A and B are shown apart, each in its own frame.
Chain A
Amino acid sequence: EPEVTQTPSHQVTQMGQEVILRCVPISNHLYFYWYRQILGQKVEFLVSFYNNEISEKSEIFDDQFSVERPDGSNFTLKIRSTKLEDSAMYFCASTLWGYPGRTGINTGELFFGEGSRLTVL
């Protein structure tokens, strides 16, 4: 069964360092997302990405964050200068058709990866 894969599974970094989290979405999917979950808290939306540009971003996704699909297969999240509060589990997700209401197609689910745990010291 196709799956979303994420690397690294765990990264430890010093405050102020740049971090890149990588995701390989399911190969024919068109819509991509990043979410994060701080330990013990809710899963929070960060950003959605379609047709090589950001579709929507949350207030969390400030200038320190960026996303890229550099080669048609990987989807990356970069944090330029990490802060202690960036410590969290980061989840990548992908879907083929996006929101069913917009397309009129009852399309199904977002597939999530297993996450990358980021620890900022």
Chain B
Amino acid sequence: DAKTTQPPSMDCAEGRAANLPCNHSTISGNEYVYWYRQIHSQGPQYIIHGLKNNETNEMASLIITEDRKSSTLILPHATLRDTAVYYCIVRTDKLIFGTGTRLQVFP
């Protein structure tokens, strides 16, 4: 499976955009980039996924570079409830979780 690299932690002020980077330099052509998050010890929650094109849904936007070697998850207006561990996963079949980025949103 392609591996991803994420910063271990980030801070973001409430109301500001949170931009979470992910490197996946060994991604291959048919592998999708998925983002999940885990709040406390709850079940992982799907956020968004994409292959080549940028994607947007009601939760977030996903920007994938043209060479597909990195991506950025954007939470446009972070709230305190967005405090969680965010996982960037390059999915071939099953999801393999790394250590993710712990995002702390502060007032």
Interface residues of A (CB under 8 A from B): 4, 33, 35, 37, 39, 42-45, 48, 56, 89, 91, 93, 98-102, 106, 108-115, 117
Contact = CB atoms under 8 A, between A and B. Distances in A.
A45 B42 contact: no
Interface stretch (B13-21, B64-72, B75-83, B88-96): B88-96
B46 A101 contact: no
A45 B31 CA distance: 18
Nearest to A58: B94
B43 A101 contact: no
B96 to A, nearest CB: 6
A44 B97 contact: yes
Contacts of B36: 109
Interface residues of B, number: 24
A43 B91 contact: no
Contacts of B51: 106
Contacts of B43: 4, 91, 93, 112-115
Contact of B97 (A43, A99, A109): A43
Contact of A108 (B31, B49, B95, B97): B49
Interface in B30-74: 30-32, 34, 36, 38, 41-46, 49, 51
B92 to A, nearest CB: 7
Nearest to A114: B43
22 contacts: A4-B43, A33-B94, A37-B41, A42-B98, A43-B87, A45-B96, A45-B97, A48-B93, A56-B93, A89-B41, A93-B43, A99-B93, A101-B30, A101-B32, A108-B46, A110-B46, A111-B46, A112-B44, A112-B45, A114-B42, A115-B42, A115-B43
Given A111-B46, A112-B45, A42 B92 contact: no
B57 to A, nearest CB: 10
B91 A99 contact: yes
